[in-house]
Structure 1
Amino acid sequence: MIEQFPLPHTRGSSCGQTRMTQRSDRNPYRSDLVPESIAFWKSLEKDYGTPLLIKTGHLGISVSEESNYALEPIKVHMRKSNVDYTEMRGQDIGNSFPGLDFDSQFGAYYVPNGFILKATKCLHALQSGFVKHGGTLQENEKVIEVKHLSANSVSMRTDSHKVYYAKSVVLACGPWINKVLRPLDIELDLQSVRVTTYYWREKELGKYSIHNNFPTIVLYFGVFHVYSTPSYEYPGLIKICYHYRAPVDPDAPDLLDMESEKAEVEQLETLKQIISKHFPQLESVPVLSENALQTVTPTSDFIIDKLPGFPNIVIGAGFSGTGFGPAPAIGRALSKLATFQDPGQDMKTFALGSRLIYTKSSL
């Protein structure tokens, strides 16, 4: 495994203390990866000797008139998959979860099997297990060229003037994937973006805490969604993010164009209004912010496939901010492809397809 930064680092979408995962998603193919992944995370935490999962339950909320767009497809899939959930309306939401305030125009569903993943600990457990089972981890070494030598050979040149040879390679490069593919005259239809996460102080300590059984939340509001995890990593602070994605160069993630800067300010003002109205036990100004990089496809579907014409170059990309929870199932599929095995029918929907890949000659 070759990693361009020293570990641990905060330059990807996997950094930070927490990520949410649950068996509810508007895309059933992504949701179907969760049971396998939860089982893996639980097995890994036994091997690692430290809890990696916190069961919180998950709450999805939408304006009722928009629920056919947001909530109904999720509920239909949960029913088909026999996922246990409870429907709520209006004030029932706040009665079940004090600290929330929604009127009769809102509907919701609650899934008991929603989880927080301790992301930093998960990464360390995976990396430790990788080395324990014989893997070699090269950190602070950037891949600058990948060459397809034959159907059974590929090379990778790094900025440390080393060249590695292998039968096959998995490219899971996050926002840098197109930079790595550029020497192959290939470009994927995806975009590197920055998402800013904000932390809000509780007026009453513990009101929105995991210790008070507060759930993870997705609040569906128009084009963008509000994501929330209960207070955990910072005492008395709850993480709430308006999922605005600002296009960035991953090598200069703090530099936004004027349009994106303006949009980010506007989205924060909208988020403040949402906090004031629906999270009344929070202060209405964030006290902390953190940035994460994501790689987004046009449909937010993952890319898990071999590169056409290069049978021993495997791509894992475009996880669109939702790839951490199902990462074990994704990893299983990538490893199958890299060892020339069938990843299974459940992964066919994440194939590249002609609409997701372009060569310079065709642009």
Structure 2
Amino acid sequence: MARLSYMRIKYLFFSWLVVFVGSWIVYVQYSTYTELCRGHDCKKSICDKYKKGIIDGSACEGLCTKETLYFSKCLSTKPSHQMYLGIWGNLQGIIKCQMEETAHLDFGAELEPRREIIPFDKPTKGTTVQKFKEMVYSLFKAKLGDQGNLPELVGLILSVADGNKDGHVSLPEAKSAWALLQLNEFLLMVILQDKEHTPKLLGFCGDLYMMERVQYTSLYGISIPWIIEWFIPSGLRRSMDQWFTPSWPRKAKIAIGLLEFVEDIFHGPYGNFLMCDMSAKNLGYNDKYDLKMVDMRKIVPEMNVKQLIKDRHCESDLDCIFGTDCRTLCDQNRKKCTGDIIQPNLAKVCQLLKDYLLRGVPSEIREELEKQLYSCIALRVTAEQMEMEHSLILNSLKTLLWKKISHTTDS
């Protein structure tokens, strides 16, 4: 009888524990979802401004009046950056919307200046198209440097800003364009709109924009519930990431695409851009295994990075990191960060690709591939003839990979 009572108490205790833990998980998940997924607030804020005539853009009518563009699955990872699967007629894309933020730059987290709650204060009423062109030119000069082809880029922006394609940029369209130009990803989508590895801009309204959807949204890895991930050692997690990857020829094709993207942003027509977060989750690919960028918010004009990190107070080199992967040195005499970036994009890309490509690599090229990857990782911006060495290493890697896969059906 005593044993029966003990078993009953034990059963009740564990039943209560399961209910308590389950309720807690449901509560945490619900709280997290409601904080992260604020698509209704985002749409309301944008459409209120559109209906008041403050903003306009190619996606405004579909989003706010015809309702042919709507938010589907929530993909947000931060409350301030709302991200959703978007459906627009027969198009599928990714909708990104900026929510309320404070006006400061957090070097440890974001790489874009945070903005006030109302970001549509410029240009002001009465601003002529010529004056708006001058505003855009000055912004580009500050971000990209004084380059001779900036007027061409200004013209490209005005063409994109003309959402209804009537040959005229209205004040509401100009306000939308100005807000979007503060975002690195939007600027890159415009600059690289003809490049294979950049997702296409499908439409915008205010600072909300919709871009091409990428089918596979991480270079490698597997998604598992966060509650399980707590109990998995980091070493095992890295191994699991490598297990769940495409076949080696397909990985090589994806890697070639990433190397081509590095070429696109390395001293391109509008200067050099730095990849300041080399996370595999920022890179994706389509069903043909062509690399497509998933998130370009942390690809920043080099001049911008230098301005923001130079002369920051430091005690060690660890204080001179922008994002997670753009690093300079700490001048110990001045206790200030220098403005010289240590690693070029190519070295960071090779570090990311090392384990990815060496796992399952055909034995006949393993030694040569490993040698080239380590030479690539050792590349430094300060090296003599860096640009020549950069070009040689990049082309050698592409050639080695392509020669091995060009005859395979996977390529």
Shorter-chain TM range is under 0.3
Greater fraction strand? 1
Q: Which has the bigger relative contact order, CA under 8 A and spacing at least 6? A: 1
Bigger-Rg structure (1/2):
2
Higher helix share: 2
